[in-house]
Amino acid sequence: EEYYKVQNRRKEEGLKTADVSKHMIFTGNPGTGKTTVARILAAIYRDLGVVSKGHLVETDRSGLIGEYVGTTAPKVNHLCDSAYGGVLFIDEAYALCTGSQQDYGPEAIATLLKRMEDDRDNLVVIVAGYPAEMETFLESNPGLRSRFNNYIDFPDFTAEELYTMFLSRAADYDYSLTDDAKSFVRSHMISKIAENNRNFGNARYVRNLFEKCITAHSNRVAKLKNHTTKDLTLMKKEDIEAALRAKK
């Protein structure tokens, strides 16, 4: 932020400014907040005058790769046009380099690199994915590493953070949990973290589990003859257990 403020002042004074790359690499597992931070960053860039609009356009391999010869470059250019003035966020960007000679990934990358250069004054590209695979992505084209020299790593959430996230989401929707339900959720998050599965969804997992819990709670309460306000708002351990069974 300070860098852009100073550079803007230099522009106002008629001084030369260095052309520093604004494009970024976000590394981390799913559900660690990469897309959310990209959206916030787009707004910050707008406020700093780095881009003119500050909107976020999200895509992945399917949005960039064409099905036939000659259709990939137009798809990439269309997305860059729609993101112009803001941020183009490419999730799982490493999927663009499969290693297959029949794949159109290299064409997509080459087209993207050209647009990043041509539109460098009003377009920011953020690529995201698993750390090791993103390193492979950078090695797939000599021009990529020089364009992306800003890295942000997103660590997994802790079990306690996921537990707090679940309670916060429940409160947002006017639900509370019994003490044994709270203990059960905390223990479950600890066990999920202990699995050390990189495909674990982090915050996304919490959101999906909570939605399952709402359904399980509704199914239980619907069977009651009379619904009190407490019945409608209180989640029990059995609701969490039912939700977990439904996920299998």
Question: Which residue's structure tokens are 């041509």?
Answer: 118
Average pLDDT, whole number, for the chain?
Answer: 92
Segment 213-232 shows an average pLDDT of: 95
Q: Is 235 helix (H, G, I), strand (E, B) or coil?
A: strand
Residue 209: both structure tokens together:
């589990």
pLDDT of residue 15: 72
Cα gap 80→124, rounded to integer Å? 10
Q: How far apart are the first and last CA of the chain?
A: 45
Residue 39 has pLDDT above 90, yes or no: yes
CA within 13 Å, CB half, 130: 10
- 228: CB partners within 8 A, 6+ apart: none
Across 49-117, the runs of DSSP E, i.e. the strands, are 56-59, 87-91
Nearest CA to 212 out of 248, 172, 177 is that of: 248
pLDDT in tens, 145-178: 989 989 999 999 999 999 999 999 999 999 999 9
DSSP for residue 93: G
Residue 17 has pLDDT above 70, yes or no: no
Cα gap 80→83, rounded to integer Å? 5
DSSP for residue 66: -
Nearest CA to 28 out of 173, 152, 148 is that of: 152
Q: Say what the pTM is.
A: 0.85
Pairing state of beta strands 56-59 and 234-235?
unpaired
Residue 140: both structure tokens together:
């797939």
